[in-house]
Amino acid sequence: MKEDFNNEMKLEFLSKSSNESFARISVAAFASQLDPTIEELADIKTAVSEAVTNCIIHGYDNKQGIVKIISKLKDNEIIIEISDKGKGIENISKAKEPLYTTKPNLERSGMGFTIMESFMDKVDIESILGLGTKITMYKTIKPKQENEEDEYNILIKD
């Protein structure tokens, strides 16, 4: 059974670190159809950056490969799948631990999955050793009226 989505976008690019900002901006532009707040957009961009960077640095180990992004809009939710056909993750629960990294020599904190989980509503990770990894992230964008009410309530409390 195929789900009904309002819109869908597919993007593939080489696993070069210079493409990370391209991916982030492309997904943000697509997400803008839901009229997110600046904060919601920043959350999406940050999570996409972390996922794409993981594909490039860990999935392909800085070798060249393809990173694939599929973004879908359903009602007021964006679903973002970011995948690679790299080496895969041996132990997903270990990889999700804050500060855990397989590349301690790089200026990375080992917080990628923690950051993704804190900025998105839900993050699913699927990985098969030798075949690659797929990260699916979900974020519901609040309707404008709710955001305006939140801002109004904050102003009243101040």
Q: Are 86 and 21 in contact (CB under 8 A)?
A: no
50 flagged as catalytic = yes
Say what the pLDDT of residue 143 is: 83
Say what the pLDDT of residue 152 is: 57
39 flagged as catalytic = no
CB-neighbour burial class of residue 84 (10 A; exposed 0-12, middle 13-18, buried 19+):
buried
Alpha carbon 155 to chain centroid, angstroms: 31
Dist CA 17 CA 104 (whole Å): 18
CATH number at 7-157: 3.30.565.10
The tokens of 145 are what? 């009226």
Dist CA 44 CA 82 (whole Å): 12
146 flagged as catalytic = no
Report domain extents, the chain. 7-157
Closest CA to 26 of 45, 52, 54: 45
pTM: predicted TM-score of the whole model, two decimal places? 0.85
pLDDT tens, residue by residue, 33-57: 999 999 999 999 999 999 999 999 8
Exactly one of 76, 77, 108, 117 is catalytic; name it: 108
Is the pLDDT confidence value at 147 over 60?
no
Per residue in 12-28, is it b (16+ CB within 10 Å) or e — as a string? ebebeeebbeebbebbb
